[in-house]
A and B are shown apart, each in its own frame.
Chain A
Amino acid sequence: MVVFKNLMSRQQSEIMTNALDLAKTAAGFASNQTVIEPLIAETKQISNQSYFGSQLSRTDEEELFNIYLQIEKYLMTADPIRTFNKEELRSKASVGLRTRLENYEHNLAPLPPQLMT
């Protein structure tokens, strides 16, 4: 039965608390990695340069959020085998990480016309 593991108990340990894990995990859902190759390369570059088990800098985190959002968009609209939704992709992010991501995403969104003046 070890071969057929019941993975229910695994759920809690999979909660992600940093942007690097979020981007890497999302990339792992792509059925064809070559399509998102530049994004994977960027993620690896940030991982190699600035992340040694310590906290990510704000700039790196924002860059990773940007990468994540591009991968998320690909998974939701263009992956050839599966259509993902935003909620399931973000479900393993911790509350804090998700809040930071959504703040970043909100700041990226174009302002409504009435706020532009």
Chain B
Amino acid sequence: MVMDTTFKTVLAVILITLLGYTTSFLVPIPASWSGSALGFYWTLADSVLFTLLHAGAAVLFLSAIGTYKAALRTAYIKIAFGIVLVGGGLAQVVFLNIFGLIKTPWVQYGGVMLPFVIAGLSIYLGTRSMAATIGVRSVLRSIWFMAPLLVVYVTIVILLPHASSPLPEPVFDISNAISTWDVVLYGASLGLVLKIRTYSGKHYAKAISWLAIGLTGSVVITMYVLIATLISGVPPTGVLINSIVTIGGLLYLKAGYSFARTKEL
């Protein structure tokens, strides 16, 4: 069987991801880890898994950009950068936790949340550029609509009653504000992608649909993080969140693969 380049790329991404996942079980447990050995390995392996899946998705998105004009290339790069930051940001939280770096200034001064802020913005700006390039008209493209919308939602979430948290109130509020920021920006990106879907030809239908599914995954994940944090007072951890983040990575991988396929006629 002869394999084409896109298929080889996705195979390589899957193999590297599996290799990274299994290699995680060979890492020595640091002295800072206070939980069980199994807990350490599953946590580390999961974070490696969703980081590599998101990075692989970005590679696939970027593998097709040579085919397209400069404006769409810029849009693709923004989306891919955002996807990498989603995976990297989530993995970073896990790494900081397992290597006992929670008390570092990077975490204490909120730097840890920066990838999530930039990821949401980058993916939104990418889909916005894509919509503008194609000529899609939507209120979701307007900064004058999006900025007040973000302010309103963030304010509402900060004012919502919540369970008591071990985190200082301002840190807790900033964390929830960032989750809200992402929910709104992923939601707006999803709206734009669905609008693009109605404009685009059949050739792009599958790729755009998968991007919409990937973004739906991001909306669900960030919404879950936000609601769980408000209910329990701490961000969710464990098998459930790791599993849905992994599924989110797989959805972006499929979206990236479908986009890579659009270069072929």
CB pair A31–B199 under 8 Å, yes or no, is: yes
Most chain B CB neighbours (cut-off 10 Å) among A28, A81, A88: A81
A residues contacting the other copy or chain, number (CB 8 A) = 24
B1 CB, min distance to chain A CBs, angstroms: 7
CB pair A32–B72 under 8 Å, yes or no, is: no
CB pair B1–A29 under 8 Å, yes or no, is: no
A contact face: mostly helix, strand, loop, or mixed: loop
Most chain B CB neighbours (cut-off 10 Å) among A3, A83, A91: A3
Give B residues with C-beta under 8 Å from A. Answer: 1-4, 7, 10-11, 14, 67-69, 71-72, 133-136, 199-204, 254, 257, 261, 264-265
Contact check: which of A8, A34, A81, A89 meets B1 at CB < 8 Å?
Answer: A8
Q: A109 interface residue, CB < 8 Å from B?
A: no
CB pair B200–A91 under 8 Å, yes or no, is: no
Identify the closest chain B residue to A92 (Cβ): B265
What are 26 A-B residue pairs whose CB atoms fall within 8 Å in the complex?
A4-B257, A5-B7, A6-B1, A6-B3, A6-B4, A7-B4, A7-B264, A8-B1, A8-B3, A8-B4, A8-B7, A27-B201, A28-B201, A29-B203, A31-B133, A31-B201, A31-B204, A32-B199, A33-B201, A35-B135, A80-B72, A80-B134, A82-B68, A82-B72, A89-B265, A91-B265
